[in-house]
Structure 1
Amino acid sequence: MLETVRRYPFGEPDRMLLDPAYARLQRDEPLARVRMPYGDLALLATRHADVRAVLADARFSRAFGRDEPRTVEQLTDGGIFSLDPPEHTRIRGLVVKAFTVRRVEQLRERTEQLADRLVDEMIAHGGPLDLVEHFALPFPVTVMCELLGVPVADRKRFGTWASVIVATTSLSPEKIVEYRARLGIYMGRLIDRRRREPTDADLLGALVQARDDDDRLTEDELLHLSATLLSVGFETTSAEIPNFMYLLLTRPDLLHRLRAEPELLPTAVEELLRYSPIAAFAMFPRYAREDVELPGGPVRAGEPVLVHTAAANRDPRVFTDPDEIDLARSPNPHLALGHGVHHCLGGPLARMELRTMLATLIRRLPNLRLAVTAEEIPWKTGQLIRGPQSLPVTW
């Protein structure tokens, strides 16, 4: 009997909905064989147990050096995302101190002030307005710029170039090459400035010091890591903010409960992270170094496995009523921020920003609501992450 090979991704993302194919595969074929537009055939893992195991098991490698399954023709250097220990451990160790819970707590007051200032500007502008333009973009960008030591005034320039990090078909191959080059030139100039004006007061200065004084980074690693941190640090959070607000504004009962019970904010953020399928599809394949027996079946040495964390976060074996949003859900072992050595470095920062965003908007704009119907909201296409392109609101 011939093994079924499915074309993947299954289609363009549909708002915050998961394609029904994931639930079917999760039930009947937890390790399904798929073909992406380019690269090797792969296994697609959709159950929580399998996804968690692949992310944590050192027998699966991100640095296998094969023609990895992907949606774009050109192979690109994934930087820290494509490294295994000990190289991954060395580079990650240089930046992890900037994202500790303690360091994030030190940023909380300034982050809360920024959120209040943006709401002040929204009120002065008057509604209706686009929450993406007036809050979701400037909020995480400013926080990340302050953390890295990047001029906030340059946001529009590097924000356009950084879009290459999450682009699939939304940019032409020529634009992808151009934007990567421009972002590299921009970061190179900032690095040169840090060399002329040394400081360890921000992350970029500390990374330059690690390169020049301690010799713990190569020049290419310094440039790629700096650009990746700048781009990923705001692209994902700037998408999750309108995702969260879309989910709440289209479910007034949930928003009402949060307003009445603000103590639910911590668990609400975790639940919205679980429920929001921000990744448009599974990516970053892991290659088996040897034969591995996963809960869902065997993986042969050399085979790549794509893990779909959003499907895992809806696994009924782990989550009661997984397709419902329960703001008080606990425990909540979601995998939205990854697991294992590649878990999201900026997880504590993202959680703090998202809690601050929700708390501020709920407190300052108690009548916040959509200014258009849910069907009129435009969504991003041709990208690795999903989210509203704009989110018109009023109050």
Structure 2
Amino acid sequence: MSQQPVLLPYADPAFVADPFPLYRRLREEGPVRRAIIAGGLDAWLVTRYEDGLAALSDPRLSSDVRDASDPRLIAQLPEFERESMMSTMLRCDPPDHTRLRRLVSKAFTARRVAELRPRVQEITDRLLEAVAPAGRAELVADFALPLPVTVISELMGVPVDERYYFQRWTDAMLVRGEEMPDPLVVDEAWHRMRAYVTKHLEAKRARPGDDLLSALIDAHDQEQRLSHDELIAMTFLLLVAGYVTTVNLIAGGIAALLTHPDQLTLLRDRPELLPDAIEEFLRHDGPVSPGIARFAREDVEIAGVRVPRGATVLVASAIADRDPARFPDPDRLDITRRDNGHLAFGHGIHYCLGAPLARLEGEVAIGTVLRRLPDLALAVPPADLTWRPGGLRGPARLPVTFTPDGAG
């Protein structure tokens, strides 16, 4: 296997729109492949399903970026990632990961999430009622974005008139592409976000309730199970992670149906397939691409390839989830697919805590769109859709047309 790194060309619109031909070639070239990723950083891509599954459970592969040997990795991190993400359960390992995850896991059990279904449905209906009379909409800005933003904001007690700001700051902090974003812009957004989170925590501390944020404040103030920095970081993580990937799941799932009319017809005819469809959207073109970063604590052999200590290992879930050794006819969107154990939510102790909520929001959102917007179709040719570059994948805009309410 050649060890000449391959460049992931985030500046190429064709790659951003459809990275899967290159992903397929990388998987066929070998199970572990060096690549140049965003910011010019060197990583080792794990491209096949079984190897990725094993890597995500391998304790020799750390989630802590401080285990990386490339000094550029930390040097290129914006201030918000150095100050906040380092203190979250995303970027730590046991025992800290175990302690932090336990503090919030009860809020995201399947039972607790199921109790949110009526409210998610209510928000969904209200958003669609606003666009239904027009016969056209931009389903990212009008629907796929405000739905999960509203849900997580209500869970965290963010007032309606403040949600736009934290969403705007998040967008500034998470933008990715071939070039790293302007650090001054990113750091300014983080300072505003940190000041907002601090103010919000103080307001909630003065008026606690029976909610997740009040429980976290109590864990800090009364039980000393959270440091001040961890409390800030956890609040930030829940606000941001509570919506960014779900936006892409909803918009990406609708885009997948509109570009695969046979699957759209099938789902309209058999709405009971919706849970399976959500899993297939996640597998076929999920909201994270190319995958999940880990850092080698020691020399590690993966699929017969020696990965040196300190290397960045990118478990390429977007590539592995189209591995023909695991998924028959993997490039085909098939909402009837069974045994769909994709890696879109990760695996092991870092398996996405918000997966039940994302699935619920995806089911309610996409199912309701199919019921409420007759004759739904793209308003532009599929080739004209624009996609988010790097890291988080999904349509940047999704213009659609449909039969307006009351017409015909």
Give the structure-1-normalised TM-score.
0.92
**SS of residue matched to 1:378:** coil
* Aligned equivalents of 2:400, 2:75: Cα separation in 1: 35
1:136 and 1:238 in contact (8 A); partners too: yes
Corresponding pairs, count: 391
Aligned amino acid, residue 194 of structure 2: G
Corresponding position: 1:269 with 2:278: yes
Corresponding position: 1:355 with 2:363: yes
Aligned pairs (5 A) from 1:141-156: 141-156=149-164
**SS of residue matched to 1:135:** helix
| Cα deviations by residue, 1:260-318 (Å, 9 ceiling, x for unpaired) | 0001011110001101143343452x222334333353334433311110000000000
Which stretch shifts more, 21-30 or 51-60? 21-30
Corresponding position: 1:28 with 2:29: yes
2:39 and 2:180 in contact (8 A); partners too: no
For 1:59, the equivalent position in structure 2 comes to: 60
* Aligned equivalents of 1:108, 1:289: Cα separation in 2: 42
* Aligned equivalents of 1:170, 1:147: Cα separation in 2: 32
* Aligned equivalents of 2:9, 2:61: Cα separation in 1: 22
For 1:7, the equivalent position in structure 2 comes to: 7
Aligned pairs (5 A) from 1:165-314: 165-168=173-176, 169=179, 171-199=181-209, 201-282=210-291, 284=293, 286-314=294-322
1:191 and 1:208 in contact (8 A); partners too: yes
Distance of aligned partners of 1:70 and 1:328 in 2 relative to their CA distance in 1, 3 Å threshold = farther
Distance of aligned partners of 1:213 and 1:361 in 2 relative to their CA distance in 1, 3 Å threshold = same
* Aligned equivalents of 2:312, 2:182: Cα separation in 1: 27
* Aligned equivalents of 2:56, 2:218: Cα separation in 1: 32
Distance of aligned partners of 1:7 and 1:48 in 2 relative to their CA distance in 1, 3 Å threshold = same
Distance of aligned partners of 1:71 and 1:137 in 2 relative to their CA distance in 1, 3 Å threshold = farther
Aligned amino acid, residue 243 of structure 2: F
Distance of aligned partners of 1:16 and 1:264 in 2 relative to their CA distance in 1, 3 Å threshold = farther
Which residue of the other structure, out of 383, 390, 393, is the alignment partner of 2:397? 390
How far did residue 112 of structure 1 move?
Answer: 1.1
Corresponding position: 1:119 with 2:128: yes
How far did residue 16 of structure 1 move?
Answer: 5.5
1:162 and 1:179 in contact (8 A); partners too: yes
* Aligned equivalents of 2:119, 2:256: Cα separation in 1: 27
For 1:135, the equivalent position in structure 2 comes to: 143
For 1:86, the equivalent position in structure 2 comes to: 95
**SS of residue matched to 2:391:** coil
Aligned amino acid, residue 92 of structure 1: R
1:249 and 1:255 in contact (8 A); partners too: yes
Give the structure-2-normalised TM-score.
0.89
* Aligned equivalents of 1:324, 1:248: Cα separation in 2: 12
Q: Which runs of 5+ in 2 are unaligned?
A: 403-408
| Cα deviations by residue, 1:42-80 (Å, 9 ceiling, x for unpaired) | 321111111111111112112261355759833633332
RMSD: 2.3
Aligned amino acid, residue 277 of structure 2: A
Distance of aligned partners of 1:371 and 1:37 in 2 relative to their CA distance in 1, 3 Å threshold = closer
For 1:327, the equivalent position in structure 2 comes to: 335
Identity, % of aligned positions = 41
* Aligned equivalents of 1:152, 1:92: Cα separation in 2: 28
Which stretch shifts more, 109-118 or 348-357? 109-118
Which stretch shifts more, 359-368 or 296-305? 296-305
Aligned amino acid, residue 115 of structure 2: Q
How far did residue 4 of structure 1 move?
Answer: 1.9
How far did residue 258 of structure 1 move?
Answer: 0.3
For 2:405, the equivalent position in structure 1 comes to: none
2:205 and 2:217 in contact (8 A); partners too: yes
